[in-house]
Amino acid sequence: MLKPLAPRFGIGEWYGHSFIHLSRAQRIAFARDAKKQTKKVAPPCPFVSGGEIKLCNKKGGICSLRLYERLEDGSARALEGDAGKLRVTCPRRFIQNNTVFSEVATIVIGTENPEIIPEIRFLKRPANSTEDTLDTTSRKAEDVGNIDIVLVNSSEDRFNWCALEMQAVYFSGESMSSFFDQIEDYMGPGIPFPDKNRRPDYRSSGPKRLMPQLQIKVPTLRRWGKKMAVVVDVPWFRTNVVDVETVSDISNCDIAWFLIDFDESSNPATLVIRELELQTLEQAVVGLTGGFPVTLTEFESKIREKMLPTR
């Protein structure tokens, strides 16, 4: 009998396909694609709509992760319930069928068919900044900082729009390259159990990446009377935004969180909007920070515990 191992995260979706539904031949083919993938050599991304063909731009082609348990025969089985949910690692996974754009626009700006405007410059570097003095011809007054996507309701007389950010999770641990090798060599039943420990890095994608973006952008959007919509998957939100209050109406929020999940009765799994959470910026920052500050007394007692004893 094999030594028991704790569940491990492995590939959830690969080049748009559910890993647990791939045949052995398909897994081997994808492993070889992943190892030779470049910007110009990669399978097409199946989630880009509108007839436009774009190659996968995610190194290794992994769209999402999921948690697996090892069975007695050495194969892997996806965990059931919340623990086994797909965790999105590529932002393009969010744009399947344009569901997110339609749902966000319907709720925030009142249209099912928004115009989708990508990568709008938001912050402008001061003309007298240090970088400008290095090369005044190319850097002077250069714009920095983007809003990922702007959704526009062009059917209204007034110019109505909202900002949209889509945040996937990073993952930490060993590179997937050794797992690709394992997949090519695997001759056992079912699917292989991940060879090494890897995990979603929620802290890097939440407090370290998204929170500064919100703190920079939302105050200006709030002054303009505009909303920030943020799309994340359910596990991302439940892990990163903890124990904070919400508001009951979109008119009182700064940030509208759209929590997505997947219907896995089809392959590829179909993206669905599961929940809508409305927060002020201050509520979101408290949640992303991961709790409330300890008291001064408690903090100073911890300092004293770590101080070297006086002689």
Residue range 177-202, pLDDT digits in tens: 999 999 999 999 999 999 999 999 99
Residue range 13-64, pLDDT digits in tens: 999 999 999 999 999 999 999 999 999 999 999 998 776 789 999 999 999 9
Q: How far apart are the first and last CA of the chain?
A: 56
What gap in Å lies between CA 228 and CA 216, rounded to an integer? Answer: 12
Low-confidence ranges of the chain (pLDDT < 50): 132-144
Which residue intervals of 55-141 are DSSP H helices?
99-108, 130-134, 136-139
The pair of three-digit structure tokens given for residue 194, joined into one six-digit string: 């991940």
Contact 162, 80 (CB under 8 A): no
Q: What is the pLDDT of residue 134?
A: 46
What gap in Å lies between CA 61 and CA 29, rounded to an integer? Answer: 12
**Which residue is listed with tokens 């999105």?**
88
